[in-house]
Chains A and B, each alone.
Chain A
Amino acid sequence: MAQKRIELPQGTLDLLILRTLALEPQHGWAISERIHQISSDVLLIQQGSLYPALHRLERRGWIKAKWGTSENNRRAKYYELTKTGRKQLELEKDSWKKLAAAVAQILETA
Chain B
Amino acid sequence: MAVPIDVTTGPGGPPDAGATSSGRSIEGRSLGQIAWLRLRRDKVAIGGGVIVVILILVAIIGPHVVANPDVYHSNLVDPTVLRPTGSFGGISIAHPLGVEPQTGRDVLARIVVGTQYSLLIAFLATALSVIIGTFFGIIAGYFGGWVDAVIARTMDVFLAFPLLLFALALANVIPYSAFGLSGNTLKIAVMVFVIGFFAWPYLGRIIRGQTLSLREREFVDAARSLGARGPYILFRELLPNLVAPILVYATLLIPANILFEAALDYLGVGLYVPTPTWGQMLSIAVTNQYWQIDPWYMIMPGLAIFITVMAFNLFGDGLRDALDPKTR
**Chain A partners chain B:** no
